[in-house]
Amino acid sequence: MKLSEEKLSSEKVFGGRIFDVCVDVVALPDGGRAVRECVRHPGGAAVLFVRDGSIALVKQFRYLYGEELYEIPAGKLDAGEDPRSAALRELEEETGYRAAECKHIMDIYPTPGYTDEVIHIYCVESARFVGQNLDEGEFLGVEFVPADEVAAMIFRGEIKDSKTICAVLAHFFGKTLPKKA
Amino acid sequence: MKLSEEKLSSEKVFGGRIFDVCVDVVALPDGGRAVRECVRHPGGAAVLFVRDGSIALVKQFRYLYGEELYEIPAGKLDAGEDPRSAALRELEEETGYRAAECKHIMDIYPTPGYTDEVIHIYCVESARFVGQNLDEGEFLGVEFVPADEVAAMIFRGEIKDSKTICAVLAHFFGKTLPKKA
């Protein structure tokens, strides 16, 4: 059975700076109806920046969790912005490193039950320091941590951000295990 | 500098079945103010179920992306529910397999910029089939896919769900690479 849900109606219940929220009514495959609460987000871009075997981590206070988190550099796409450009822009703004190119690692869906956000993840291995340039109200520190230690931090529960875990473990996977075609 | 943000006010702008949305005003470390748009979610639980070297994947239509996604079994915590119990409950409801115990792999924060959801991920290696028991309006198929093939699906971009990528790559990491203490 090919599964799908058809939109019958959509009500925008919140319009924000970061996301909107819509409550949609859908027709189910069996003809029934269901309500879908939808966070509509423009998408994000993130960069695994590896320099001399170390990974750039930004440490910032995340209000939603009430704690400082380690994450790879990342941010929201501006309207109409190409994800690759956004990734390089965020890398430079947050770490001060400017890169000419980046390699696509993967796109992830952070939590598909209620948001449509796509996080586009890239890898940068060559960049030059030009100076940090943070958004207003953005406070963060940058640390270069050896890749093995970053992996250990994940397994000790010290890194919990999903895009960071996906990017770092994919990096190790690519370096150590054969990929199938 | 120890970074933190102090809540000055909070307005609940949406109360849903899956999540609430609050708009909070916070004091920044430099004394400035900022608005934080917050999706408040009760948290989720997910299970990497490995049987004879294959991983249980559920395939379901995800309205937010308009496509069928492969994910490990997972669901939202009921009010007051222990994450471990929720993981076993979701495994049984979605795949029909009942397990007596599960091992904690990691907790992840899917997208810390705007949600407080924590996804608790467990591993199950022994379970017996008792029959699928889906929620109303839930339609999904279950496939057991060899672990190597699941990894290949990730790197071909056929699996994009963050909890699934974290769980599967952590599983390989644990089996193939030395962990630091």
Q: Per residue in B67-104, pLDDT tens?
A: 999 999 999 999 999 999 999 999 999 999 999 999 99
Percentages (nearest 5) of helix, strand, coil residues in chain B: 20, 40, 40
Active-site residue identified among B81, B90, B93, B136:
B136
A168-to-A57, A76, A151, B56, B122 alpha-carbon distances in Å: 11, 20, 7, 24, 20
Distance from CA of B37 to the nearest CA of A (A): 7
Q: Summarize pLDDT for A116-142 with one digit per residue, the tens.
A: 999 999 999 999 999 888 877 778 899
Neighbouring residues of B74: CB distance < 8 A, sequence distance ≥ 6 = B44, B45, B46, B47, B87, B90, B94, B119, B163
Task: Name the DSSP letter for residue A17.
Answer: S
Active site residue B11: no
Asked whether the ipTM of the predicted complex exceeds the cut of 0.85, the reply is: yes
Identify the sign of the CA torsion A154, A155, A156, A160: positive
Within 18-57 of B, beta carbons closer than 8 Å to A belong to 18-19, 21, 23-24, 26, 28-30, 32, 34-39, 41, 44
- The torsion defined by the Cα of B18, B79, A33 and B141, in degrees rounded to 10, comes to 90
* 8 Å CB contact of A152 and B180: yes
Q: With 70 as the cut, is the pLDDT of residue B175 above it?
A: no
Q: Summarize pLDDT for A7-43 with one digit per residue, the tens.
A: 999 999 999 999 999 999 999 988 899 999 999 999 9
Q: With 80 as the cut, is the pLDDT of residue A169 above it?
A: yes
Global pTM reads 0.95
Give CA–CA dist A90/A77, Å, rounded: 9
The pLDDT of residue A167: 98
Task: Name the token pair of B23.
Answer: 């708009």
Task: Name the DSSP letter for residue B109.
Answer: B
Neighbouring residues of A67: CB distance < 8 A, sequence distance ≥ 6 = A61
Nearest Cα residue to B109 out of B117, B101, B99:
B117
pLDDT averaged over chain A?
A: 93
Q: Summarize pLDDT for B39-70 with one digit per residue, the tens.
A: 999 999 999 999 999 999 999 999 999 999 99
* 8 Å CB contact of A110 and B114: no
